[in-house]
Each structure stands twice: as C-alpha cells, then as structure tokens.
Structure 1
Amino acid sequence: MNERDVIVSLQDLIKMEFREERNIAVNGWHRRRFRQIRDVMPPGPRDLPRQVRFERITVDDDHLSFAMNDLNKVGLYVAAKPLSIENYYFEIEIVDTGLISAIGIGLVPYKYPMDSQPGWRAFSVGYHADDGQLFKASGFGRPFGPKCNIGDKMGCGIKFKRHEEERPQPEQAVQVFFTRNGQEVGTVTVPNPPGGLYPAVGMHSDGEEVRLNLDAEWQYEELVHMAVDSGEEEWSRLHDVKLNGMTLEYSGRGKSIHDVGLAQAKHPLDTMNHYFEIEIIDPGESCYIAIGVARRNYPKDRHPGWNRGSIAYHADDGKIFVGSGIGAPFGPRCHKGDVMGCGIMFPPDYDSEVDSDLSPDENECPEFIDEPYHSSDSEDEDLWGPGNKDFETGTEVQIFFTRNGKIIGYKQISIPKGGFYPTVGMLSSCEKVRVDLRPLTG
C-alpha cells in the first residue's frame, strides 16, 4: 500500500465517521421531533390512552384535595380525555373551600403547565370560585358570575356543533359554557388547540376539597350565534362598514372627520350581556379605530365618544372620549393583534325597565334625527354637554375598558334612556376588526 492509498483510506474513514455522527444526530432529532408532534396531535387508534395528570393534588377516588407545598404553588388536576361531542360536560361539587376558596374549574390543553390555574395560560379558560371571575388565557380575570361556596356545584362544558359531526376537521374555536348549581352562568369563545381541551381543576389553599364528576350530564339547545355570526340583522346600523361574518371592514373615503364608518349593535348591553370585544386584524393607514357604547341611533358618521350620549376608547392615541371631541389620556395605544374590550358594571339593584323608554311590545328604533358635531373646550365636560336637557339620563353605571384581557380603567356616567349600545368606529382605509358581541354572558 503506497502513501496515496493510505491518505485515501483515511479520508474514507473520516467520511464514514462523519456520516455516522450525522445519522445519529439526525435520528435523534427526528425522535425528539416525533415526541413533540405526538404530544400535541390527537391520539390515534394505535396510541396508548393518556394518563391523568396532577401535581400538588391528592386524589382519593372522586375526591380531589389540595396538597400543601413549601413553594406555595398551585395544585392542578388534568383529566385523561378531552371533552368531545359524546362527553362534553363535567362538574365539581365544593366539599370544603379551605382558607381562601381558590378553586378553579375549566379547560386546558393536555400539556398545560401544572403550576397554573385553568385560564391563566394560552389555550385555556377557567371560572374561579373565590371571586366569580372568568380567566381566558390571561392572569387577569373579568367579572363573569357569582362566587361559589361549600355545597355549590360548578360545571364546565363545550357546545359543539352537533349538526357537523361528519366534518373532516375539528372546530378551530368552540363555545365553552359554565354552570352553577344547574344554571348556566355564561359562555365564552375560545380557540380549540390540536388534541382538544381537557377538564381541569385548580386549587391553591390549605383545606380545599372538591368532588369530581367527569360523567355529569347537561342538556343544551343548539347554539344560536349572536350578532356578527348571524349577519346584519343583529346590527342597527352599518355606515361605511362592510360586515363579513365576524369581521368589520372600513369602506369609507377616510379623507376627513366626516368620513367615519360606524357599526352599532341592535341590542343594548344589559346585566346578562354586559361586555363585548374587538380584535384589530388590520390597523389600516392610521388605526383610527374606536370601541365604546352609545345611545340608540347615535349619529352614523361620528366616532363613538365624540357626541352626546357616548363614550369610547380610541386605539390610535389611547385616549378616552366622553361626549366630546376632545379626548383625555386613558390607556396605551393599540396595534395589530390587540384585543380591545368595553363593558358596563351595573349596580346590584339595576332595573333595565326603569332605564328604558321602550315598552315591552316595542322592538323598533324611532326615526333617526341627525345632529351637528359636538365639541367642547373642557375635557371634564359632562357626558351630555352643557345645557342638554333634551336627553334624559338614568342610573349611574361604571363603564370599563380592557386591552388584551386587562382592565385599563373605569368611567362613572349615567346611562341614557334606552340603554347603551355596543358601537365601533373606524376612519382610515383598510382598517379591519374581528368583533365578538358576546364573549361573556351572565
């Protein structure tokens, strides 16, 4: 063997070693990648059934209780099977509220972090007993339902579209509902992750104990979609705004303040439907997008908040406008992907009949009378403007606004006769928002 043959042999050997190392690395990557894919994909016919997951929770048959830990972490229980059309509902009964009743019921992905309550992280939702709030993919809750105590039963389920059982793919978003003692508290739309949503129970204080019933039964009627799901019949006015399913798109000129596009819902907010949201899909040229509430038959070419009988939070500058063309600093600016919300905190003794000028048989809006643009030199001007005695007012309520699930501020004002109606304004080309007129009910 000459010197050249030796060199060639060494080169071949080195190449073989490199190929072997590469194969080992690639195979290892594929194995790891397969495990990741397997964890998020729905179980197939050959997959082994998933196991119940729980940490800092003691499981005794159908009883779950919180296990104290030195790090004071949340205890979480996640069921082995996701909710399905055949098994779409489960319940817990509160046996003991413990120190602070930090008990939550909801739905989570299977690989959900075990140190978080249902609703705190992405793709999850939860109804919490201690404060009656709903948490949706956020650590900040929203007013939702009553608090729950010993003996109360809390339920959670999904209103699947039963008439689409043969659909080739699962629903991308589902309607999750919660109950208390057999009565529905409300519903919320949430994304449906690959693999589905699993029943989950969270606890966080010594002594908390619940009885779990994964086979509980609940009957519901086929879901009737509200507002933007149903079409234009749920909107009293769509001026220079196009409606496409759940999306509102500005279609005006966008040249001056008189080119506002307005969408106003047909039904006012009330104690059963007190909150709505928009998600900025496209901010357009200037993001002149506003969310708020306004009196019935608010001028069709005015941003909510500019004229009497309205209040709104504006995305472009983060200001709040209260019946005036001059805004006041209120919250952060909003951009593409941000979710803006508006709601009303009604007093406990609120009576919608007292604050309405419609009789029970009336369901049509009176003839709209346009009015001139109203401006003021004072940021503290009253909602109705000086000397506006032609507008009667009713009960004082708290209007609140949210950004990405976090409440950014409140404003106390008097509700007009007839109520406050969800209203969205836009004023620059290509602006587009997705609207949910009923993200929460109850």
Structure 2
Amino acid sequence: MFIIDAIESLQAAMDIFEERNQAVNGWHRRRMARIRDVIGPAPRDLPRQVRHERINVDEDHLSFMSNDQNKVGLYVAAKPLSPENYYFEIEIVDTGAISAIGIGLVPYKYPMDSQPGWRQFSVGYHADDGQLFKASGFGRPFGAKCNIGDRMGCGVKFKKSEEDRQQVEQAVQVFFTRNGQEVGTVTVPNPPGGLYPAVGMHSDGEEVRLILDAEWQYEELMHMAVDSGEEEWLRLHDIKLNGMTLEYSGRGKSIHDVGLAQAKYPLDTKNHYFEIEIVDPGENCYIAIGVARRNYPKDRHPGWNKGSIAYHADDGKIFVGSGIGDPFGPRCQKGDVMGCGIMFPPDYDSEVDSDLSPDETEESQERVVDHDNLYNPETDSEDDDWANYVNKEPETGTKVQIFFTQNGKIIGYKNVTIPKGGFYPTVGMLSSCEKVRVDLRPLTG
C-alpha cells in the first residue's frame, strides 16, 4: 500500500512539472516574440561583419600575417555578391615568398584556414599557378600566373531579367578576370545566404589592394553545354554519340580503323581546356586525347600526323605530329580523367590564326610512320616522304604550350606552333567497346 501511494504521488509530481514546463515555454515564446518586435531581427539576420584571420587589414590593403602554425590567412567581405554588386578585384602589391594569393567566392561561415576554392561551396583562382580550385584541394589549369601589378577579378553572371531574379538561383556562373580580360567561367552551387568575396594568402610579404567596388560589364554566356551533344561536334568518324558519351563503332582490325571525333569549335582563350573520362577501356584502351587542325585526316589518331598533338592512354606516350611517341605520363584505365588544354601567350590574338591556309588539305598530309609497330612503311618513297617532312623548316606562327592532365593533375607541357584555323579538341579510338565521356568545357559549367 505504501509503494502504491508513493508511485501515485510521484506521478502527480511529474504531471505538475510537465504543466509548469509547458507554461514556462509558452511564456518564453510569447516574451521572445515581443522582444523581437522591439529590437528587430535576430542576430543572424543582422548585417554581416568582415571576417579575417591571419590577414592584416589597413583600409583597402590586405597583407599576410605570419603564424607559427603556418596556416592560411583569409579575408571574407561583409556582403555577398548580388545583381547590383556582382564583381570585385584585387591588385597584387607584393607576391611575397611564394605568391600563394587566391581570389574567389565562399559562404559566409567558410573555414578561415583555407584558400578560396578548397572547401565546399567555394571557388578560387590562384596567382601562383594560375589554377582554378572548385570545392577541392586539387586545382585545374585555368589561366595565367599573376605577378606584382596584375589585377585579378571575380564576379557572378546573375540573370539579368527582373522576372528571373525573383527566384534564387540554385547555381550561378562565376567568372574570373586578369588585367581586365576575362579568363573563364565556372558553374558553382549558390549556397543559402549567397557567395562572399574572399582573398586568401599563405606566405610572408604577400600584399594586395582590395577593390570591392570595381566595375565590369559582362556579356551573356554564349557557349553553354548542349544536352544532346550533337551540335558540339564537327565530325564523327567510326564513333557514335550517345549524349555526351563517345563510343567506338569501327572494326578495330587494323591501323586504318581509327575512329576520330573532332569538336566543332577550336580552343580559345575563354575555352582553352577539355577532358574525357574513360568509361570503358575496351579491348586495348587505344584511346587518345589531343588537339588537331581542322582538316586532320579522319582515320588517324591525333598526334600521328602534322598539325596535331596527343596523349595516348594505352602506353602513356605523347605523339607530336609523328607516328613515333615519347614517354610522357602514366597509362590510363577505366575511371581515369584525361585532359588537354592550351596555355596561350598573354598577348595572344586569335585573329592571327583564324584563317586556314589554302594549301592545307587532307591530300597534302604525310603518312604515319609507326605506332608501336602497328604500321610500317613498305616502300622507299614513303620513307622519303617522311624524311622530307622531318627535315622541313619549322613553321611560322604563334607558339603555344599544350598541356595534358590526368585526374586533375598536370603531367607535362609541349611547345608547339598553332596551325592556321586553330587547334580543335580531338579524340581517337581504335579497339572494340571503347567508350569515353566528354566534357568540352569543364571550366565553364
């Protein structure tokens, strides 16, 4: 009987406690509502403050502060970019020890020990290597390196119509500039709260001038990815297109059965890099990525003939207008991403290389000499033709650097002369079941 009475008393006490909690909570909610009515929005809705760690701020000058932990210094502006204020710049005053200066966009609560672009929802263009970092600690080739006196800019190409602006964009086009010239664009997610201007530094002596009110007039994006992919290709020989995937459809029996895919537009200063992902290496992984002149022979791997250069997956060799390759990088297999791009000179004028020479015809091209003994000349005349080509005087034209990547890392460069008409993204295949996924503009969305 005593135990039953104790349990009933305890239950009654618990009921009273619960009723009191509900009353207190209700009072608290009503009181907080009245307080908000008086003092305005909650602190998280108030205007943001500038955030910076290991960065000294002297009016519009930012400089790196040395620290024992060797941590990155970061500055994050107080306001996100908006359709009314969509662009900012920095001018490099001093590159310091290693020029580890980055400009980009980050969420407001971004970690203060990371460069722009290293973490989620961020993107950055870095001065020391000219690479673009997008939510990753691994960069991609993007633009030229920057030095003292160079201006680096960053902005967002917001939708222009008022109707479109009523809805928050889930993803935005971020563009970067160097000395008043657009370097390129990249699509990034637009986090809640928007993207804030950010500047990162990481070596003694680095200093920049921040220009948050810089002006820039951008044009609407003209080249967007096409879902079907068909409009992106100038020609497809023994290669089928399935969306953005290329599939080899040739016989794959001899050296003459090369399948070639060539893009419709040449690489230029705004779209200077493309990638392929090996979806299926097929029987032998005779897959090649490179650039070639517009009228390149349709049944030749890129790199084998004049006016082309390519990196081959099966042996990791590079071929520069020759059937004989040189060791260059690692072999590639299923899942690997191979990239090819051009580093144009800062003063490059595309008009110089815009017109094809009248004598540049397929019939005038030299024969392939060798590709791991797959093809060998059978007559002395073919040997003579090849010797004549090898001994020719070098062509006159703009010198550029062609670079290749594997899984986002640069594996090497080659200096070549760009042909009249430009260099076109080109992919070659030569064994059954080979399949690659292509991204002609990985840096522009």
Task: Give the CA deviation at 1:147.
Answer: 2.4
Structure 2 CA distance for partners of 1:374 and 1:169, relative to 1, 3 Å: farther
Match of 1:401 among 398, 401, 404: 404
Q: Which residue number in structure 1 is paired with residue 247 of structure 2?
A: 250
Task: Give the CA deviation at 1:54.
Answer: 2.5
* Matching of residue 309 in structure 1 with residue 314 in structure 2: no
| Aligned pairs (5 A) from 1:145-156 | 145=144, 147-150=146-149, 153-156=151-154
Q: Which residue number in structure 2 is paired with residue 35 of structure 1?
A: none
8 Å CA contact 1:280, 1:335 repeated in 2:
no
Match of 1:433 among 411, 433, 437: 437
Q: Which residue number in structure 2 is paired with residue 157 of structure 1?
A: 155
8 Å CA contact 2:248, 2:429 repeated in 1:
no
The percentage of aligned residue pairs carrying the same residue is: 66
Q: State the alpha-carbon separation in 1 of the partners of residues 390 and 352 from structure 2.
A: 19
The one-letter code of the counterpart of 2:428 is: G
Q: State the alpha-carbon separation in 1 of the partners of residues 221 and 371 from structure 2.
A: 48
Matched length: 392
Unaligned 5+ segments in structure 2 are 8-41, 377-382
What secondary structure sits across from 1:393 in the alignment? coil
Q: Which residue number in structure 1 is paired with residue 423 of structure 2?
A: 420
- 1:127-186 Cα shifts (integer Å, max 9, x gaps): 334565544534556361362425x543201223445826977344x43222245x1231
8 Å CA contact 2:252, 2:258 repeated in 1:
no
The one-letter code of the counterpart of 1:170 is: E
Aligned CA RMSD, in angstroms, stands at 4.5
Q: State the alpha-carbon separation in 1 of the partners of residues 216 and 160 from structure 2.
A: 14
- 1:299-356 Cα shifts (integer Å, max 9, x gaps): 2233212334322112344232334445443212334554322233456787767667
Structure 2 CA distance for partners of 1:177 and 1:327, relative to 1, 3 Å: same
Unaligned 5+ segments in structure 1 are 10-44
Q: Which residue number in structure 2 is paired with residue 34 of structure 1?
A: none
* Matching of residue 386 in structure 1 with residue 390 in structure 2: no
Structure 2 CA distance for partners of 1:291 and 1:357, relative to 1, 3 Å: same
Structure 2 CA distance for partners of 1:317 and 1:47, relative to 1, 3 Å: farther
Structure 2 CA distance for partners of 1:92 and 1:399, relative to 1, 3 Å: closer
8 Å CA contact 1:306, 1:374 repeated in 2:
yes
Report the TM-score when normalising by structure 1: 0.70
8 Å CA contact 2:64, 2:73 repeated in 1:
yes
Structure 2 CA distance for partners of 1:410 and 1:99, relative to 1, 3 Å: closer
Match of 1:107 among 97, 105, 108: 105
Bigger drift between 309-318 and 128-137 goes to 128-137
The one-letter code of the counterpart of 1:191 is: V
The one-letter code of the counterpart of 2:200 is: G
- 1:51-106 Cα shifts (integer Å, max 9, x gaps): 64422123455543322212332201223554344442222344555555443211
The one-letter code of the counterpart of 1:388 is: Y
What secondary structure sits across from 1:219 in the alignment? coil
What secondary structure sits across from 1:179 in the alignment? strand
Q: Which residue number in structure 1 is paired with residue 15 of structure 2?
A: none
Q: Which residue number in structure 2 is paired with residue 261 of structure 1?
A: 259
What secondary structure sits across from 1:388 in the alignment? helix
Q: State the alpha-carbon separation in 2 of the partners of residues 188 and 138 from structure 1.
A: 19
8 Å CA contact 1:125, 1:190 repeated in 2:
no
* Matching of residue 276 in structure 1 with residue 273 in structure 2: yes
The one-letter code of the counterpart of 2:438 is: R
Q: State the alpha-carbon separation in 2 of the partners of residues 132 and 430 from structure 1.
A: 33
Task: Give the CA deviation at 1:224.
Answer: 0.6
- 1:217-253 Cα shifts (integer Å, max 9, x gaps): 42212111167579655533223445566x2422624
Task: Give the CA deviation at 1:273.
Answer: 5.0
Structure 2 CA distance for partners of 1:230 and 1:111, relative to 1, 3 Å: farther
8 Å CA contact 2:131, 2:139 repeated in 1:
no
Q: Which has the higher helix share?
A: 2
Structure 2 CA distance for partners of 1:368 and 1:193, relative to 1, 3 Å: same
Report the TM-score when normalising by structure 2: 0.69
